[in-house]
Amino acid sequence: MIDVSGIATQWAMHPAFLDALLKRDAFETMLPDGLRRLASGFAGGNLAAKIADPVREGGLFILPITGVLAPHGMYGGGTSYDMIAQRVREAADDKRICTIILDVRSPGGTVWGCEEAGDAIFQVRATKPIVAVASPYSFSAAYWLCTQASKFYATTSGEVGSVGVRSGHTDMSGFETMIGMKTTLIASSPDKIAGHPHAPLSDDDRAEIQSGVDASNRRFAMAIARGRGMRFANVAEVHGTGKTFSASRALGRGAIDGVATLREIASRQGSAQTRLALMRRQAAVMELAADL
C-alpha cells in the first residue's frame, strides 16, 4: 500500500531525516517541470547523488554505505540494497580480500530490500570477516545491516540506533475541499484503493498498516538477535525501540563492540591474528543463532 509521496511506504529511517525527505519530495512534486529542474540544479543534481566507490587496500575491501537506503532505482542519492548485497558477495568470492569493512554513514531507508541485504552480510560473514563502522552515524535500516556484520563499531563522535519501523497516511480531503476540488476514485475492489489520501483513514485500513509495521519491526528485532548472538527478548533492552545512542552509550549498553575510527579499524584488520579471532567469534555466534 503506497501513495505517490511514499508516506505509506514502510520506513526504517531516523524520523528527522525521513520528515525532511518526505517534505522535500512533496515540495518538488508540486513544482512545474522547469522549476523542478532548476531546484535540482541548485541542490547539485546528479553530481550530488554520486556514491563513493569501494576501496581495496591490500587484503581489505572497504564498502561505503551512505545516504537513503532503498532498492535500486527507487531513490537517488543513496546506496541501493542490491549493490550492497552484490558487492559483499563479490568480495567474499575474491581470494585476495581477507576482510570486508562497511563504512556506514546513513540515516536508514526503506524496509523493502533491507532484509535481503542483511541476509547477504550475515551469510558472507560465515566465511570471511565483515566489520561495520558507523562513521559517524548508522540509524534504522543501516543499523539493521551493521548488526549483521562480524563486529560493529562506531567512530568516537558517532551515533547509532533508531531501531523500529514507521509508515503513515496523508488525508488530503480537507485541503481539496478548501480549494474546491473533489476526487472520486473508481476501482475493481475497495482493496485496490485502500488507504487512499482523498478521505480520512478508516479503522480497517489503519489496522492493516499497523499490522504490516509490526511484522516488519519483528523481523528487524529478529535480525538483530541473530546478528548479535542474543535472545530476541533482550533486543529492545539493549538496542532500544527508536532512541539513538552516542558511541560511548551504545558501547555501555552492549549494542556495539567498540569505539574506533575507520582508519583505526582498517589498521587493525591488517593483522592475521585479528582476522583469526574474528572468524572464531562469528563461528560461535552462528552456532548460538542456530539454537534460537
Is 34 contained in some domain?
yes
Average pLDDT of the residues in 83-92: 97
Identify the pLDDT of residue 290.
Answer: 63
Is 190 contained in some domain?
no
Predicted structure pTM score: 0.81
* CA proximity to 243, closest of 161, 134, 145: 161
Buried b (16+ CB within 10 A) or exposed e, 23-47: eeeeeeeeeeeeeeeeebeeeeeee
Most confident of 68-77, 126-135, 184-193: 126-135
Q: How confident is the model at residue 86 (pLDDT cuts 50, 70, 90)?
A: very high
Identify the pLDDT of residue 287.
Answer: 63
Give per-residue pLDDT as tens, 269-291. 865 555 555 556 556 656 655 66
Identify the pLDDT of residue 289.
Answer: 56
Count structural domains, the chain: 1
Give per-residue pLDDT as tens, 25-70. 554 444 445 444 444 444 444 434 456 789 888 889 999 999 999 9
Is 281 contained in some domain?
no
Is 155 contained in some domain?
yes
How far is residue 250's CA from residue 238's CA, in Å, rounded to a whole number? Answer: 8
Average pLDDT of the residues in 209-218: 94
Is 290 contained in some domain?
no
Helix, strand, or coil (residue 86):
helix
Is 46 contained in some domain?
yes
Helix ranges (H only) for the chain are: 15-30, 33-42, 45-48, 81-93, 114-124, 141-146, 173-178, 203-228, 235-239, 247-253, 262-268, 272-291
The CATH number of the domain holding residue 89 is: 3.90.226.10
Identify the pLDDT of residue 27.
Answer: 47
DSSP, res 31: S
Identify the pLDDT of residue 134.
Answer: 98
Identify the pLDDT of residue 279.
Answer: 58
- Mean pLDDT lowest for which of 13-27, 79-93, 161-175, 188-202? 13-27
Q: What mean pLDDT is reported for the chain?
A: 84
Identify the pLDDT of residue 87.
Answer: 97
Residue 195 has pLDDT above 90, yes or no: no
DSSP, res 111: S
CA atoms within 13 Å, Cβ hemisphere of 227: 35
Helix, strand, or coil (residue 149):
coil
Is 6 contained in some domain?
no
Most confident of 54-63, 67-76, 98-107: 98-107
Residue 183 has pLDDT above 90, yes or no: no
Residue 105 has pLDDT above 90, yes or no: yes
Residue 4 has pLDDT above 50, yes or no: no
Is 111 contained in some domain?
yes
Domain that holds residue 244: 11-167+208-272
Most confident of 176-180, 190-194, 231-235: 231-235
